Amino acid sequence: MWGSTYLANRLIITEVPPLLGSATRFLVGGGLLALLVLLVAGRRAFAMSWAQLGTTALSGVLLPAWGNGLVVLGQQHVASGMAALLIASVPLHIVVLRALTGDRPRPATVGGVVVGVAGLGVLLLAGPSAGSGGTVGTAWWGPWLVVLAAVGWAGGTFATTRLPVPANPFALAAVQMLTGGLVLSGAALVAGDGVDLADLSARTWWAWVYMAVVVSLGSFSAYAYALASLPVSTVATYAYVNPVIAVLLGVSVVGERFSPVQLLGGAVVLVAVVLVVLAERPARKRRGPLAPSPP
């Protein structure tokens, strides 16, 4: 499901302003998930200390708002598969954050980050190939905006693994989405975004419903549960599964194409993530700061 979100974003932003589409998606998805949590676990699931509430709000700004918001803005100028390859660098950014806060990554981890930076450099400097642009063009800053989104995802994930969080991961996910939706709504209002619902095609409606309902209730919840229940090295493997799915869907559904240099850069990034995950596997058995958050 997460690998398909990049294609769904592309289909939505062809007719809906990116910030507005993402804001409504998270508000509806977060509201539905919150309702389900209330029905199943009751209001106690949302019991939070001020510190836990602060972490939840912060991660809501960094993950859905900053992370997803910049991704959809970048996808106006970046192919869906290319966006997924750039976002796959999230575990590499988390290693850098660890180092900046006093943690000492293993030499193998540092080596993986160096390889990943080289792969990102290839992706950012390769330039667009025919058919590999976004929905409105191929501006040079599009890929850089997606990388900045990855930094936001990394920061939000790092915060949730180092700061107090609610005991119920589904309540955490619901409040994160609602917070991100509110922030994106404010940004869309400032940008003057608007849309005539009667003009939207059935394809756009289906893509939006898929993102707001299926992805929010399925993928986002599954990730929250997995992060709390599985070894972090297992959870982190999605970072190099998603791009493969996104590239295949982009090529087969909307005809995206990639140059050999772009494919090489993407492969280097994925190899780097694999190296980092393998290097961290013996040390991190459960929830920890390596795990990347979903686009």
In a domain, 287, yes or no: no
Rounded to whole angstroms, how far apart are CA atoms 107 and 207? 43
Q: Of the ranges 4-13, 49-58, 105-114, which one carries the lowest mean pLDDT score?
A: 105-114
- Look at residue 262 in the predicted model and tell me its pLDDT: 87
Q: What is the rounded average pLDDT of the residues 217-243? A: 77
Residue pair 48/235 in contact by the 8 Å Cβ criterion = no
Question: So what's the pLDDT on residue 289?
Answer: 52
> For the chain, what is the radius of gyration of the CA atoms?
18
Q: Residue 166: which region, alpha, beta or left (left: phi > 0; alpha: psi -120 to 50)? A: beta
Check residue 233 and give its pLDDT.
62
Q: Residue 223: which residues within 8 A CB-CB, separation 6 or more?
A: 2, 173, 235, 238, 293, 294
Residue 192: inside a domain: yes
Q: What total of structural domains would you count in the chain?
A: 1
Q: What is the mean pLDDT of residues 195-224?
A: 90
**Does any domain span residue 295?**
no
Rounded CA-CA distance 119/122 in Å is: 5
Share of the chain above pLDDT 90, in %: 55
Q: What is the pLDDT of residue 151?
A: 95
Give me the amino acid identity at 223.
Y
Structure token digits, residue 274 = 């694999």
The packing angle between helices 50-60 and 169-191, to 10°, is 50
In a domain, 290, yes or no: no
Q: Does 107 map to a domain?
A: yes
Whether residue 286 is predicted with pLDDT greater than 50 in this model: the reply is no
Residue 232 has a pLDDT of 63
Q: Does 294 have pLDDT greater than 60?
A: no
Q: What is the pLDDT of residues 91-100, one digit of tens each?
A: 888 888 888 9
Q: How far apart (Å, rounded) are the C-alpha atoms in residues 2 and 215?
A: 7
In a domain, 294, yes or no: no
Tokens of 23: 């804001």
Residue 103: predicted pLDDT: 84
CB atoms within 10 A of CB 9: 27
What number is the average pLDDT over the span 260-271? 90
Domain that holds residue 148: 2-280
Greater confidence (135 vs 145) lies with 145
At residue 109 the predicted structure's pLDDT band, cuts being 50, 70 and 90, is confident
Lowest mean pLDDT of 85-94, 209-218, 226-235, name the range: 226-235
pTM score:
0.88
Does residue 284 surpass a pLDDT of 50? Answer: no
Assigned domain for 132 exists: yes
Looking at the domain assignment, is residue 120 inside a domain?
yes
